[in-house]
A and B are shown apart, each in its own frame.
Chain A
């Protein structure tokens, strides 16, 4: 007879009830914390639907009437610069660099996981170490190089740089995803006479695809968010969305609704991608170390 069974039933239910009560209280605390953390974003969203006069008041106006003027102005209705070229540049830089990352990272991850080369951990650590080299350490030579080769204000230079920024993470993530493909299945397919392309498309791809999708999302988010390179290396033509946003840094209260609308619109792709891949996001950021 074990110790728990010997315990009087009354004591057991009492501690159980106390624990449930404490649990409900802590659940409430968690809700409160979630609301506090989300409040700035909710407030930004509400402000973006206010007129500029209602947006810039103290005390804050909760019940002011809603309008789409902030969004209209952001998209250039007031004769200001249209954000569309910047959004298009960001889309090109993010999508093209993500595709380039996939082209480079997939074979590398294959070589590191499914048919590992010798000393493959050393290679992985080399990729990781480049991630620890701060961006500013190479900024000036890249700038001088771009200036001397007429690549300043060229979106394709950003594509190359964003690829180098995301490639190490992608190799690490995909290595861990591909390592989950059981080698026995691949061997079996090969014994059955399947050639390499068939093995890759029929056996490896279906298992690895969710991981590849998650990796792509993370690369997309990082490229979309990047500011320092874009700020230094682009100008009028290749300006990206974050650089466009920096135009609001000095703007005063007159444009508060517009600032909020702009911030939300430009964050929207990342918010959508991030919510879609919450768990994979951490796994990617922690270089596959957390499962």
Chain B
């Protein structure tokens, strides 16, 4: 008797279920299907060309002499690493990336700490600081090349003129430093924004408690703020690296790769676009990828730790 009375009351729970339950396999495909267009697109447009690059890198192939194309194994890699100019561009890439990332990270941290405080016009200052990141990269490079660095009428020498300083030719004297300064100017705002987000996600109660216990600002910074910021610093460093390793615009615009500023992306561009050395260009391209994979391995670890934390929070 009880069984019959409970049965109807349980029925509404089952009501929304479909009348004919689809097979589990069909259902699995139905949930997977929306992913497929994006996945197939990405594999076709990014993975296939890379595989082609990998294959070409094993050939001696100058597009001006297409008939002389032949398989050479790792010879192109030997050439890239053996040629002083090409080896130089590997070194330049490392130097450029490390210098720009570190400098913009330190500056970005200082600015983020300044902007984390309340003061009049904070929103305006933040907007002023973000602007360099929002100028089209080629335009930013042109700005530095012509408007700031020019030895005859550039703003830098114009300002130096007022204090009776020297009038250096910035790009000729310190070409790599000139490229780095322009990139630091563009990337510091990005680092600042990431670190500012980190600062504002700190536990304010914990900081108040530490202050009540008599901790100095410096102690709070070293023992509370920095450990909290670590993940944000790592994230900024790794994302900055990924973008700056690939930088082409600044090198191309400021120095056209001259004066020892050619990095790997510029070298790849030049060796196939101007020298028509398809095999060499591909080998250099594969080396850029290997470098990026090393960075990316660390990057993925950091991002996945951020990610796990978020999944844990939910």
Q: How far is the CA of A39 from the CA of B145 in the complex (A)?
A: 15
A and B contact pairs by CB, cutoff 8 A, 28 listed:
A23-B118, A31-B125, A33-B111, A33-B125, A34-B128, A44-B147, A107-B34, A107-B37, A110-B34, A111-B34, A111-B35, A115-B31, A117-B31, A123-B35, A126-B42, A127-B38, A135-B248, A136-B268, A136-B285, A136-B288, A137-B50, A140-B285, A164-B41, A231-B252, A249-B253, A256-B153, A279-B197, A289-B303
Q: How far is the CB of B141 from chain A (nearest CB, A)?
A: 8
When the two chains form their complex, are residues B38 and A23 in contact, meaning their CB atoms are under 8 A apart?
no
A127 nearest CB neighbor, chain B only: B42
Given the known inter-chain contacts A105-B38, A138-B49, A263-B136, please indicate yes or no for A246 contacting B252, CB distance below 8 A.
yes
When the two chains form their complex, are residues B137 and A225 in contact, meaning their CB atoms are under 8 A apart?
yes
A33 nearest CB neighbor, chain B only: B111
Q: Which of B119, B122, B286 has the most CB of A within 10 A?
A: B119
Given the known inter-chain contacts A44-B147, A290-B232, please indicate yes or no for A227 contacting B114, CB distance below 8 A.
no
For the complex of A and B, the 10 pairs showing the least CB-CB separation, nearest first, are A27-B119, A138-B49, A107-B34, A263-B139, A141-B52, A274-B134, A34-B128, A164-B45, A34-B125, A132-B296
Given the known inter-chain contacts A30-B115, A132-B293, A164-B45, please indicate yes or no for A249 contacting B130, CB distance below 8 A.
no
Q: How far is the CB of B154 from chain A (nearest CB, A)?
A: 8
Q: How far is the CA of A246 from the CA of B299 in the complex (A)?
A: 33
Interface-lining segment among A57-65, A73-81, A206-214: A57-65
With contacts defined as CB atoms under 8 Å apart, how many contacts are there between chain A and chain B in the complex? 321
Q: Which of A59, A133, A224 contacts B46 (CB 8 A)?
A: A133
When the two chains form their complex, are residues A38 and B142 in contact, meaning their CB atoms are under 8 A apart?
no
Q: How far is the CB of B187 from chain A (nearest CB, A)?
A: 11
Q: How far is the CA of A138 from the CA of B293 in the complex (A)?
A: 15
Q: Which of A40, A130, A242 contacts B132 (CB 8 A)?
A: A40
When the two chains form their complex, are residues B50 and A138 in contact, meaning their CB atoms are under 8 A apart?
yes
Q: How far is the CA of A190 from the CA of B15 in the complex (A)?
A: 12
B96 beta carbon closer than 8 Å to chain A: no
Given the known inter-chain contacts A104-B38, A117-B35, A291-B201, please indicate yes or no for A37 contacting B265, CB distance below 8 A.
no
Given the known inter-chain contacts A27-B119, A242-B138, A282-B190, please indicate yes or no for A108 contacting B292, CB distance below 8 A.
no
Q: Which of A127, A130, A138, A270 has the most CB of B within 10 A?
A: A138
B285-309 at interface with A (beta carbon < 8 Å): 285-286, 288-289, 292-293, 295-296, 299-300, 303-304, 306-307
Q: How far is the CB of B60 from chain A (nearest CB, A)?
A: 15
B47 beta carbon closer than 8 Å to chain A: yes
Q: How far is the CB of B269 from chain A (nearest CB, A)?
A: 7
Q: How far is the CA of A72 from the CA of B142 in the complex (A)?
A: 19
Given contacts A2-B212, A160-B45, 15 further A-B contacts (CB under 8 A): A27-B120, A57-B158, A60-B155, A108-B34, A126-B39, A131-B242, A133-B46, A138-B49, A140-B53, A140-B268, A144-B278, A227-B252, A256-B147, A263-B140, A290-B235
Q: How far is the CA of A170 from the CA of B285 in the complex (A)?
A: 26
What is the size, in residues, of chain A's interface with B at 8 Å between Cβ atoms?
Answer: 108
Q: How far is the CA of A290 from the CA of B196 in the complex (A)?
A: 10
When the two chains form their complex, are residues A60 and B137 in contact, meaning their CB atoms are under 8 A apart?
no
Q: How far is the CA of A128 from the CA of B159 in the complex (A)?
A: 45
Q: Which residues of A contact B127 (CB under 8 A)?
A: 275, 278
A100-136 at interface with B (beta carbon < 8 Å): 103-105, 107-108, 110-112, 115, 117-118, 121, 123, 125-136
Q: Which of B48, B142, B155, B212 contacts A43 (CB 8 A)?
A: B155
When the two chains form their complex, are residues B286 and A137 in contact, meaning their CB atoms are under 8 A apart?
yes
B239 beta carbon closer than 8 Å to chain A: yes
When the two chains form their complex, are residues B34 and A275 in contact, meaning their CB atoms are under 8 A apart?
no
| Majority-rule SS of A interface residues | helix
Q: Which of B38, B121, B135, B296 contacts A171 (CB 8 A)?
A: B38
Q: Which residues of A contact B242 (CB under 8 A)?
A: 131-132
Given the known inter-chain contacts A136-B268, A246-B253, A289-B235, please indicate yes or no for A117 contacting B285, CB distance below 8 A.
no
Q: Which of B31, B35, B117, B145 contacts A23 (CB 8 A)?
A: B117
Given the known inter-chain contacts A111-B31, A290-B194, please indicate yes or no for A285 contacting B136, CB distance below 8 A.
no
B264 beta carbon closer than 8 Å to chain A: yes
When the two chains form their complex, are residues B289 and A133 in contact, meaning their CB atoms are under 8 A apart?
yes
A163 beta carbon closer than 8 Å to chain B: yes
Q: Which of A40, A105, A136, A143 contacts B144 (CB 8 A)?
A: A40
When the two chains form their complex, are residues B142 and A248 in contact, meaning their CB atoms are under 8 A apart?
yes
Q: Which residues of A contact B133 (CB under 8 A)?
A: 274
When the two chains form their complex, are residues A259 and B246 in contact, meaning their CB atoms are under 8 A apart?
no
B139 nearest CB neighbor, chain A only: A263
Q: How far is the CA of A23 from the CA of B119 in the complex (A)?
A: 7
Q: How far is the CA of A278 from the CA of B248 in the complex (A)?
A: 25
Q: How far is the CB of A128 from chain B (nearest CB, A)?
A: 7
